[in-house]
Amino acid sequence: MMAEEKTVNKLLTILSLVLIVGALAFWIAWGAAFNGWNMFDKNYIGVYAIFSTMFLFGLFGFLLARARKSESAQN
């Protein structure tokens, strides 16, 4: 059972980091291609909606994986 938890935590951590890196790469590539760095411009709100969703899911997934890891270490 312990090996399964470690595998799940590793997969969750990897997926979370992929989401964070993907969000940052998407934001940088899109901003460079279309020169749209102003997040308060209404023309670019969709890009920041995608970026923030990907980034926050990655961040919360990473925090969840760390919490699960520390919880399993205590048991």
pLDDT tens, residue by residue, 15-53: 999 999 999 999 999 888 888 777 778 888 888 899 999
* pLDDT reported for residue 1: 46
Are 23 and 63 within 8 A, CB to CB?
no
| 64 pLDDT tier (thresholds 50, 70, 90) | very high
Rounded-to-integer distance, Cα 73 and Cα 56, Å: 26
Structure confidence at residue 44 (pLDDT)? 82
Mean pLDDT, range 56-63, rounded to an integer:
96
pLDDT above 80 (res 14): yes
